[in-house]
Chain A
Amino acid sequence: MRVFPISQRLRYLIPFGEVEAVIEHLATRRGRVPAVTMVDDGEKFGVWPGTHAHVYEKGWLDRFFDRLLTTEWLELATLGEVADRVPATGRVYLPTASYREMGEWALPPDAAQLLERAKHELAALPEGERLTTLLRGGFWRSFLVKYPEVADTYWKMLRLSRAVHAALAATPDDAQLLAAREALWRGQANDAYWHGVFGGCYLPHLRRAVKSALLDCEQRLADASGGADVVWSSEDGNGDGRLEVFVRTRDSP
């Protein structure tokens, strides 16, 4: 497996900095690293507030691409091309991680405020900005603690995943099960499983899309297994140490 570390600096500069600042930053990396990686959210280019005017109407994107193409020392390449041509720079072992802000959002509010204070105080020290990069925040699954509703969806997804894969192991070509697996995948879209600053699990259409896909999976799984009209269990199905009762009945004619 090859790992490409995304440049946080580029994530900030593109498209919110001046085009020239992007080139200046790349120039500082020139000759020092074999490649600089840029991967980011498409929403920045027209969906987030104000970005359509900034990126298209005011021409930022055109200027940016023009400048990339006319900068002779700069070579644009896909990750695959780099992987084929450039030897690995080293070995890396990664903890479970995401971008820095995600770790901050995952923390309970009190801890997040403490972290913010620590970052602020550290940043005032000489070399402080560099030191703050060591402050990582929390673990993504803490979102499941902060938002038990999300945990319920997450654990339903896990229960369905186990059931779908167990059923597929027995009958790998069952069309209904394969469709159930696709629905499961749709139900794994991450957006509704966390909350940062822009909505996430608070947005009803995101939750509905995920829950609808999981119910679709559940329905197809039930159809594939034939089974009884009433299926139920009493267990701790969401990892909170308490018993839940899960019941599924067939639709009345």
Chain B
Amino acid sequence: MTLNPELGGAVTEIGYLPKTLDVSDVIARRPEAYHDRVRAAGRRGKATQVRTIHDAPAAKEAGLEAILAYDEPRRASLLDAWFDGPETPLDPLAPWEGARLLLFRERLDGVARAVEGGVTLSLSRARGAPGPLDVESS
């Protein structure tokens, strides 16, 4: 298991060894130069065929430009943020814009220590850091 105190305590690997499976295996969608050609192909309104690895790829099917999207921050487990009020509906994929505090942007102080059968990681936000709250978690 990989924990990242300096990414707000995010967990980026949960490897289940008996099944050799990383159950946290996710990847963020990021911009690439060729996406502009996908958008341009969408504007022209037709799909083009990709024939070789050397070809400039446009869109292998129509409509891809409409679902080009990017993730910020990277995807991980235990990405924490502070939101106002339960009445605010959150986008389950991209809720971050309306947050008052994004803990995953912060380098939390992390202290790890061995306990019976595992490890405890205590995370704390520097006292006086800007924002509405202090944070201590483990």
Chain A residues within CB distance 8 Å of chain B: 11-12, 16, 41, 44, 48-50, 101, 104-105, 107, 109, 112-113, 116, 146-150, 152, 156, 195-198, 201-202, 204, 207-208, 211-213, 215-216, 218-219, 222, 229-230, 232, 234, 237, 242-249, 251
Q: A149 near B52 (CB under 8 angstroms)?
A: no
Q: B20 near A216 (CB under 8 angstroms)?
A: yes
Chain B residues within CB distance 8 Å of chain A: 1-7, 12-13, 15-18, 20-22, 25-28, 30-36, 49-54, 57, 60, 74, 107, 110, 112, 114, 117-119, 121
Known: A44-B52, A101-B53, A107-B33. A219 touches B2 (CB 8 A): no
Q: How far is the CA of A213 from the CA of B74 in the complex (A)?
A: 23
Contact residues in A for B51 (Cβ distance below 8 Å): 16, 48-50
**Chain A proximity of B112: nearest CB distance (Å):** 5
Contact of B5 among A107, A156, A245 (CB under 8 A): A245
Contact residues in B for A234 (Cβ distance below 8 Å): 110, 112
Select from chain B the residue with minimum beta-carbon distance to A99. Answer: B54
Q: A218 near B17 (CB under 8 angstroms)?
A: yes
Contact residues in A for B60 (Cβ distance below 8 Å): 49
Select from chain A the residue with minimum beta-carbon distance to B31. Answer: A109
**Chain A proximity of B12: nearest CB distance (Å):** 6
Max chain A CB contacts within 10 Å: which of B16, B34, B53?
B53
Q: B110 near A243 (CB under 8 angstroms)?
A: yes
Q: B118 near A230 (CB under 8 angstroms)?
A: yes
Q: How far is the CA of A112 from the CA of B36 in the complex (A)?
A: 11
Q: Contacts A215-B22, A242-B4 known; list 20 others, CB within 8 Å.
A: A16-B52, A44-B52, A48-B52, A107-B33, A109-B35, A149-B27, A150-B27, A152-B2, A195-B32, A197-B50, A208-B21, A208-B22, A212-B21, A219-B17, A230-B119, A242-B7, A246-B1, A246-B2, A247-B3, A247-B119
The total number of A-B Cβ pairs within 8 Å is 125
Q: B17 near A197 (CB under 8 angstroms)?
A: no
Q: How far is the CA of A204 from the CA of B36 in the complex (A)?
A: 24
Contact of A211 among B22, B35, B53, B57 (CB under 8 A): B22
Q: How far is the CA of A249 from the CA of B49 in the complex (A)?
A: 49
Q: A49 near B52 (CB under 8 angstroms)?
A: no
Contact residues in A for B20 (Cβ distance below 8 Å): 212-213, 215-216, 219
Known: A152-B2, A230-B114. A198 touches B33 (CB 8 A): no
Select from chain A the residue with minimum beta-carbon distance to B76. Answer: A149
Known: A215-B17, A232-B119. A149 touches B26 (CB 8 A): yes
Max chain A CB contacts within 10 Å: which of B28, B34, B35, B36?
B34
Contact of A12 among B3, B54, B121 (CB under 8 A): B54
